[in-house]
Amino acid sequence: MHKSLRLISVTAVAAVAIGVAGPTASAAQVPTPAAAGADSTALQVVQLTADEVTEIQRIAAQIQAETAAANDEDAPQMLSAKSEAGKMMIDLLKKSPDLFKAAIKAAKSGHKAFKDWMGKQNTAVRGAWWLLSGGVQSWVIDELAKLVS
């Protein structure tokens, strides 16, 4: 069973990695227009420079390696590796000051708002986010919500 879980995990990581690496030709996604009547506090897509995307993809690869290694570890070591991946995700968000500020704002709005906001971000950022387990994602959101923007 452990072997099949590892195989599923590696397959999922590879699929996400392809999704993360594929859009490097376009540094930033085109923002989606705000819905008619949406209030001005709605969380928006953060545009990234090509350098920010490159750095984010580098950190996403580290998160991928960390989470893949965590699946081969014993329970205490796995928790440590996953928390490292969460810290790397926060570092990834910090690579773009605008992205980091928007992430804090979204986190302060709650888990659902953060996940909705994350779903609209650059593919490289979303790909790194999807590599994290649900518990690590919750930890990242909680840590960001504690920060002052």
Considering Cα of 117, then 70, then 1, then 10, what sign does the dihedral take?
positive
**What would the pLDDT profile of 45-54 be if each residue is shown by its tens digit?**
899 999 999 9
Q: pLDDT grade, residue 31 (50/70/90)?
A: very low
Secondary structure (DSSP) of 99-148 = HHHHHHHHHHT-HHHHHHHHTTS-HHHHHHHHTS-HHHHHHHHHHHHHS-
| pLDDT (0 to 100) of residue 38 | 43
